[in-house]
Amino acid sequence: MFKSRVEVDPLLGRSLVTTETIKKGEMVVEESPFATGPKQNGGIVCLGCYRDLIFGEDGDSLDRCEKCDWPLCSSCFDEPDHLGECKIFTNARVHFAGNVSEDGVCTQLDCITPLRVLLAKETDPDRWDKEIAPMEYHNEERRKLTDVWNADFVNIAKYLRGPCRLANRFSEDLIMQVVGILEVNAFEARTTQGYALRCLYPITGILAHNCVPNTFRTIHPSEGFKIRLRAMCDLEEGQQLQHSYTYTLNGTSQRQEHLKAGKFFTCECKRCKDPTELGTNFSTFKCSKCDEGWLLSTNPLDSSCYWKCTICTFKTSNNAIQKALSVMQSEVATLQAMDPSPQKLQETEKLMRKYRVVAHPLHFIQTGLRQNLIEMYGRVPEYELSELPDVMLEHKEELCRQVLRVLDVFEPGLSRTRAMMLYELHVPLVLLAKSGFIASILTADALKQKLLDVIAILKECVDILKYEDSETQEGNLCRVAQQAMDQLIQSVEGLTVAE
């Protein structure tokens, strides 16, 4: 652990604070996971590399461990993480059935990650006592979710103590504590091949939440999934380290719902309490009774509140707003389910135009649609970069800038999402600059200045992504952005020589 210490907040419980002034990008925490394993409620995956495996209806597959017969691809027969559970399954003669529900879930694998935590507890009891045991697991709140609790109790606790013959080693209470610790604190990670898993980090996992975080984390699969936490912006000594445990580009009601369901708390950060979401109007609707008014919640943390127009006297219930949102989200989900295509792009543009008359321009629904369009322009047939006219390039540029306006507020500083958007922005800017020069609209000096502006954009992108694992998708994008920046620097040098 670096440059931070654990403190106990009377309201938030354990959290981390800085022990000195921290500059943007500096590392404040570095740690290895206590345990890793497959995600809960997932399909059948290799217990070594986590790639999806295909089992027949009768549970037949060649991708099985030679000793315990549980799912394992041929490349992972010597995977250390599997050895502990392999011994248990072999000794207990527990058969892997390979059953998958209609929604693609294999509940038999839900026991794997909790079991790995329990085995790590036996291997490193000191770390368990000091770092894992004190972690929140919200037993009482989880018990109220009867169906979920009962499923975990049967599929994990009863299964490990019964068929797996571990009743003498692990109590029901301990197993359910581990299940809760994972549910509340585990982070999702991805392998270098992009396969999902979850990791338990006892220090990073106790970070306080804020919907405008001041830290960002990078997980390094090529280094045993080591996690590094860095300052997203400059931090003062004694400042609380905060991370977002929900998607920052969701509206307040959506973030609150996610945090209550998965983390069992209500966020009362400055953004959540502000009806305008720090001036972005990210959840704001247009008033239907006047031309200039906007509908704002009178209390974003109260689901029984009403919404009031900023100009006229019109009011409406929060329930009515949420119903409207539900309809909009359903329409968006239908679009997102489509494969990338010209039709999907066109329908997304139509939906954006439709919502202009009901939602603020920076509303989170509109922002999400912009992100979808940014990904499609330049990538789907009929809209490849080489075919886009200047007017569409300008449209993509504006889409990027509008998303960046929101990120400037919600993820200020070294934001991975910001880096992705900067990379998307640089492409239309380069093409528009070259097009303007060819059409004699831009002079050589003007072209040079525009390319220098793009170089600055790419440098910021690289400066953010340079902290990522080089073997991940983000690390690869960092290399691509660096190459693009080097090429532009050469182009600018060529223009300078020509002068």
- Domain containing 453 — which CATH number? 1.25.40
Among 151, 172, 193, the domain-final residue is: 172
Among 154, 172, 190, the domain-final residue is: 172
What is residue 2's predicted lDDT score, i.e. its pLDDT?
A: 66
The answer to whether residues 60 and 136 belong to one domain is yes
The answer to whether residues 329 and 458 belong to one domain is yes
Is residue 258 a part of any domain in this protein?
Answer: no
The answer to whether residues 25 and 140 belong to one domain is no
The answer to whether residues 234 and 331 belong to one domain is no
Q: Which residue range forms the structural domain that includes residue 353?
A: 318-498
268 SS3 class? coil
Element (H, E) at 18: strand 13-18
What is residue 241's predicted lDDT score, i.e. its pLDDT?
A: 94
Closest CA to 472 of 427, 420, 412: 420
Q: Which residue's entry shows tokens 């993820």?
A: 411
pLDDT along the chain (499 residues), means of 10: 73 82 94 96 95 80 91 90 95 92 92 98 96 91 89 96 97 97 94 95 92 96 95 94 95 95 92 98 96 96 95 96 96 95 97 96 98 97 94 98 98 95 98 95 94 98 96 94 97 76
Is residue 278 a part of any domain in this protein?
Answer: no
What is residue 140's predicted lDDT score, i.e. its pLDDT?
A: 87
How far is Cα 53 from Cα 457, in angstroms, rounded to an integer?
41
How far is Cα 426 from Cα 484, in angstroms, rounded to an integer?
9
- CB of 116 closer than 8 Å to CB of 123: no
Q: Which CATH number is 209's domain given?
A: 2.170.270.10
The answer to whether residues 26 and 153 belong to one domain is no
How far is Cα 347 from Cα 432, in angstroms, rounded to an integer?
26
Q: Which two tokens stand for residue 193?
A: 């091949």
Is residue 289 a part of any domain in this protein?
Answer: no
Q: Which two tokens stand for residue 496?
A: 């300078």
31 SS3 class? strand
61 SS3 class? coil
Our count of domains for the chain comes to 3
What is residue 78's predicted lDDT score, i.e. its pLDDT?
A: 84
Among 122, 154, 172, the domain-final residue is: 172
Is residue 20 a part of any domain in this protein?
Answer: yes
How far is Cα 363 from Cα 491, in angstroms, rounded to an integer?
39
The answer to whether residues 236 and 343 belong to one domain is no
Is residue 308 a part of any domain in this protein?
Answer: no
What is residue 498's predicted lDDT score, i.e. its pLDDT?
A: 59
What is residue 55's predicted lDDT score, i.e. its pLDDT?
A: 85
pTM: 0.91
The answer to whether residues 338 and 482 belong to one domain is yes
- CB of 45 closer than 8 Å to CB of 73: no
Is residue 122 a part of any domain in this protein?
Answer: yes
The answer to whether residues 326 and 457 belong to one domain is yes
Is residue 159 a part of any domain in this protein?
Answer: yes
DSSP characters over 283-315: T-EE-SSSSS-EEEES-TT-TT-EEEESSSS-E
Is residue 435 a part of any domain in this protein?
Answer: yes
Angle at 390 between CA 388 and CA 392, to 5 degrees: 60
The answer to whether residues 429 and 378 belong to one domain is yes
What is residue 215's predicted lDDT score, i.e. its pLDDT?
A: 96
The answer to whether residues 29 and 52 belong to one domain is no
How far is Cα 397 from Cα 453, in angstroms, rounded to an integer?
14
Query: Any residues with CB less than 8 A from the CB of 272 and at least 6 apart, and which?
Result: 211, 252, 255, 256, 300, 301
- CB of 135 closer than 8 Å to CB of 202: yes
The answer to whether residues 94 and 156 belong to one domain is yes
Q: Which two tokens stand for residue 296?
A: 């704002």
- C-alpha count within 13 angstroms, C-beta hemisphere, residue 189: 32
The answer to whether residues 216 and 344 belong to one domain is no
Helices (H), 20-111: 80-92
Q: Which two tokens stand for residue 19?
A: 């022990």
